[in-house]
């Protein structure tokens, strides 16, 4: 695993972390997946490049808005369940379906 393109330490300010993730849209290519560790969060693009937020993991309540900010397909009810695995992996490939807001 290479080093992250960019990383920050989460100090409890959710807005700072969300602002950091907004940069992924500009500095990464199309997002592909998220790895949520016990103590960090990594957002990957199709090239395998990633941004990392240290100090927040799947057990923290604030991880939910961060995952939603990058369009992660995850279950908010089970995200905090402990796992023996090194990390939990989720795709970020969901998009708006064509004409989903059509009105009949």
- Asked if 3 is part of the footprint of another protein (rule: CB under 8 A), the reply reads no
- Which residue from 53, 82, 83 is spatially nearest to 70, judged by alpha carbons? 53
Binding segment for another protein (CB under 8 A), chosen from 7-15, 16-24, 82-90, is: 82-90
**Considering only residues 12, 13, 39, 78, which one is a binding residue for another protein as defined by CB under 8 A?**
78
Backbone angles phi, psi at 13, to 5 degrees: -95, 105
- Which residue from 100, 40, 95 is spatially nearest to 70, judged by alpha carbons? 95
Give SS3 for 6: strand
**Considering only residues 12, 22, 29, 59, which one is a binding residue for another protein as defined by CB under 8 A?**
29
Residues that bind another protein in the complex, under the rule CB under 8 A: 29-30, 32, 46-48, 73-78, 81, 83-85, 88-89, 91, 93-100, 102-104
């Amino acid at each position: 695993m290479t080093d992250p393109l960019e990383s920050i330490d989460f100090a409890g300010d959710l807005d700072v972390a969300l602002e950091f993730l907004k940069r992924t849209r500009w500095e990464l290519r199309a997002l592909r997946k998220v790895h949520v560790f016990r103590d960090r969060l990594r957002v990957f693009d199709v090239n395998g490049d990633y941004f990392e937020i240290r100090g927040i993991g799947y057990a923290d309540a604030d991880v939910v808005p961060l995952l939603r900010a990058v369009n992660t397909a995850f279950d908010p009810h089970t995200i905090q369940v402990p796992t023996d695995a090194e990390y939990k992996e989720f795709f970020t490939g969901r998009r708006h379906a064509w004409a989903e807001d059509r009105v009949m």
